[in-house]
Amino acid sequence: MLSKKMKQAINEQITREIYSAYLYLSMEAYSIASGLKGFANWFRVQVQEELSHAGKMYDYINQQGGRVILETIDAPPSEFKSPKDLFKKTLDHERKVTAWINGIADQARKENDNATGIFMQWFVTEQVEEEANASEMLQKLELVGDNMGGLFMLDAELAKRVFTPPAPAA
């Protein structure tokens, strides 16, 4: 059984995960408008990942006898300066998500809620990957600099990324 505080924290995180999907959908739209379909594909995969994260949390609350309360989703930014700006903002955002996830994991430890602590460990590990992916992309864009050929090569690489749904909970 989830405590009231834990239900609230996970419900808030569901909203944040859906906002993340919305943010990445906006970044996808910017990428399409900029003629960078590979970048758009990278962000579409992010959209799918964030929605799957929200779904895992949604299912967990229900499995624990709680009630999901959906909140208002804020509008994401729609203007970005460059592909590099997209990934600076992505990394900044993922760092915030990591802090929120860690906060929920910390709360589970404080409440001695082992089930939620184990559940949240998947997200803690996932955030290491999320930050690493964004950081790697930012590093590649810094290496490319103003080289348009490099940008188009990177765009072609990003077009190959595919969404792999997370394994269902055991």
Say whether 67 sits in a helix, a strand or coil.
coil
**Model confidence, pTM:** 0.94
Res. 167: pLDDT tops 90 = no
Q: What pLDDT shows up at residue 165?
A: 87
Residue 143 DSSP class: H
Longest dimension (CA), the chain: 55
**CATH number at 4-158:** 1.20.1260.10
Confidence of residue 45 (pLDDT cuts 50, 70, 90): very high
Res. 103: pLDDT tops 70 = yes
Q: So where are the chain's domains?
A: 4-158
Res. 21: pLDDT tops 90 = yes
Please say whether the beta carbons of 120 and 105 come within 8 A: yes
Q: What is the pLDDT of residues 115-134, one digit of tens each?
A: 999 999 999 999 999 999 99
Residue 111 Cα to chain centre, angstroms: 26
Res. 170: pLDDT tops 60 = no
Provide DSSP, 68-136. ----PPPPPP---S-HHHHHHHHHHHHHHHHHHHHHHHHHHHHTT-HHHHHHHHHHHHHHHHHHHHHHH
Res. 169: pLDDT tops 90 = no
Q: Of all helices (H) and strands (E), which one includes residue 14?
A: helix 4-33
- Segment 32-49 mean pLDDT: 98
- Segment 13-31 mean pLDDT: 98
